[in-house]
Amino acid sequence: MPRIYILTDLEGVAGVARWDQTGATTRGYAQACRLMTLELCACVEGIRSAAPGADIWVWDGHGCGSIDLELFPSGARLINNGPTTPPTLLDRSFDALFFLGQHAMAGTPAANLAHTYSSEHIARMRVNGSDMGEFGCRAALAGSMGVPTLFVSGDDKIAAEARALVPDIVTAEVKVGYAPQLALHLAPVDARDVIRQKAASATTMIGQVRPLVIPGPPYTHEITITGRTDPDGYLARGYTQINATTFIKTTSDLALLAI
């Protein structure tokens, strides 16, 4: 039976489009978490329809968490949100990685809630000279373990970003991004139908899609910070400053990029 790891986030969920829905103390957060978890239930249903005995582990990867525990789907197992960094319990034994509720990388034009790890601190990230967001960094980390990435849901911009790296990935586009805090959404129930169908399709592709492998080691990690960020933090971690806002480091550790 396949083992599937689902990495959840909040910014790519249908109905979620503004920062006042994604922070732990924001007014729309509780509803956003419910919407996220109902998309998770649909994703698990889709996987189960294709592989009834699938072993499904779910990591609550949004910064402050985004899973409503009371709605968590029966049979799946939860890796709770907390003080941890990827690859949280991800290892070679998994057959596939799914991204649910994912967002595009910082700086993506017309993308909804695009950012790379920290919307306040990171303006741009490049790996080996190419722009890379959370999807790419984490898919590459999984790839280094031999685990392919088969599914992503979110807006049309993360779908395009994912296809550029994993051409055969199955995408569930639940909204169209227009601006940082503006999107055109499917009705949540319709988004769940799309996710259910696409997750089933992705499950049938296990064994047919190669893991994402990027050249290296070593890997060149380049971060452009925003004006709110203290450069000393990067200097202390061994980065070299190449201009006022850009820091670079060569590393052999892909996990460093998948923070």
Q: Which residues bind Zn ion (CB under 5 A)?
A: 9-11, 62
Nearer to Zn ion, 10 or 186 (CB): 10
Give dist(CA 181, CA 74) in Å, integer.
Answer: 33
Nearer to Zn ion, 134 or 222 (CB): 134
Give bridge partners of residue 46 from the DSSP assignment: none
Q: Which residue is nearest to Zn ion (CB)?
A: 62
Nearer to Zn ion, 7 or 186 (CB): 7
Nearer to Zn ion, 21 or 203 (CB): 21
Nearer to Zn ion, 11 or 60 (CB): 11
Q: Which residue has the tokens 């806002």?
A: 245
Give dist(CA 134, CA 193) in Å, integer.
Answer: 25
Nearest-approach distance from CB 178 to Zn ion, in angstroms: 19
Cβ-Cβ contacts under 8 Å for 178 (sequence gap 6 or more): 110, 112, 184
Residue count of the chain: 259
Nearest-approach distance from CB 48 to Zn ion, in angstroms: 26
Nearest-approach distance from CB 20 to Zn ion, in angstroms: 14
Nearest-approach distance from CB 215 to Zn ion, in angstroms: 28
Give dist(CA 228, CA 241) in Å, integer.
Answer: 16
φ/ψ (deg, to 5) at 141 = -65, -45
Nearest-approach distance from CB 63 to Zn ion, in angstroms: 5
N-term to C-term CA, the chain: 30
